[in-house]
Structure 1
Amino acid sequence: MVFPVLEGKVAIVTGSAMGMGEATAKLFAEAKAKVVIADFNEEKGQKVVEEIKNAGGEAAFVKVDVSNSEQVQAMVQFTVDTFGKLDVAVNNAALTPDDKPADSFDEDYWDRLMSVDLKGAALCQKYELQQMKKQGNGGSIINISSVSGYRPQPDNIAYVAAKHGVIGITKVAALENGKFNIRVNSVAPGAIDTPMLRGALEQFGLSEEEYAPQLSLLNRFGQAEEIAQASLWLASDASSYVTGTTIHADAGYTSR
């Protein structure tokens, strides 16, 4: 059972057609938020909307490429046109980590990943902040980083750089917008069992049994719903005195 801690609030969740974004959108809807499913994958995104509505929630889909400024602005406007305002945003959209060392990284994929994982988060945050300031009622923005934003991994220099950057843009926005009662925080997930992680395991030829203990003091992968709970707390008024920080939802990975 989820308490209706987001009742009366409107939320955007980017990258919510699957994985952590999908779990977050569904949890927010269960907590009584009206949720905009923002994703590039229209088919899967519309399916999430249908599932939320079938469960008694309110949701709508908007197709967006978060690396495109005009589309991000349209996403925010769609939210306001559909549900009347914007109170909460979870900037979660990201690409699969790269797989090359620092001396031979793929420059084309670097550009593509940075445009989504870092520039995309910054663009979403930019226009979400503008809307929240215009409304004058505060708000909560949650940027999804990664343990790679604190403890780098080999062979994915672009992803590590982007997720470090997400922490940086979060801190700057928190510094600038506290006076408007807009809180900006991040969540740094560890090894979470999502299609992205499963794809990475396949890409690197690894099994869960051999990989999970390297990344978790609990010797297991996390579930998308566990990350969604962290975002839910930051989105709710229960975290009203929290801004500029990061929740490490990583089973202790960054503590050692």
Structure 2
Amino acid sequence: MEAIAALLALTLMEIVLGIDNIIFITILTDRLPEAQQPTARRVGLALAMISRIVLLSLISYVIQLVAPWFRLTSLGIPEEFLRGVAGETWNVVNEISGRDLILLFGGLFLIRHSVKEIHEQFEEGGHDQSEIVKGNTFAGIMFNIMMMDVIFSLDSVITAVGMTENLSVMITAVVLSVIVMMVFAGRISRFVKRHPTIKMLALSFLILIGVMLVAEAAGTHVNKGYIYFAMAFSLAVEGLNIRLRHKTPHVIAAATSAPDVDLDE
């Protein structure tokens, strides 16, 4: 019974933690020809599953990533400076681990890619089909997805280890969560394509997640619950805006087709 409860909790957690991964994969595969996009999404999620299973299998090495690799003071940065910047938590900032470096570079990569994508949306109005075919290859997109899969997987794997020590339960939860994400990835992609404002919102959240990763790398813990709540609230508001935009043309059409009433009569 305990194993089943842990499996359900882990599966739910993996799905929630995989939302940002789905958004990233959806936006990145949008650069490919339309015929390749479903395959790219499935391969991207399969890579996410494989990377998490590999990290779980090598969990003893992953745990070592949390241990400090070096200290900033050993690089010549004065302790007084760190105390002035970080206060009482200066020692956390001072100790740099492998996880910190991975989160730092991953966060910077995510911020750079999202800002670049937003810039292209404004400057070029998105990607036309000729640009998509010439500028991006399937292998190149998969490489970028694989890089971010490792970043997104790292924290979820460490969290999973904190919830249960049963490796088979952890792997089963990962497989089940990826299957669920594969089922809904296509629908999410089509929804984002139909509504450009949702895509802009998703890119903004990727920037937010990138900033969060950089903050985590610097030793500042950010509760992901706040970020997921902000995402859910913003999506709910944007959903209301979409419904209002769909309703407005009908209201305008009804108003213009109504006969004029002469108030002087």
| TM norm structure 2 | 0.26
- Structure 1 or 2: more strand by fraction: 1
Tell which has more relative contact order, 1 or 2 (C-alpha 8 A, sep 6+).
Answer: 2
- Structure 1 or 2: more helix by fraction: 2
Q: Which has the larger radius of gyration?
A: 2
| TM norm structure 1 | 0.27
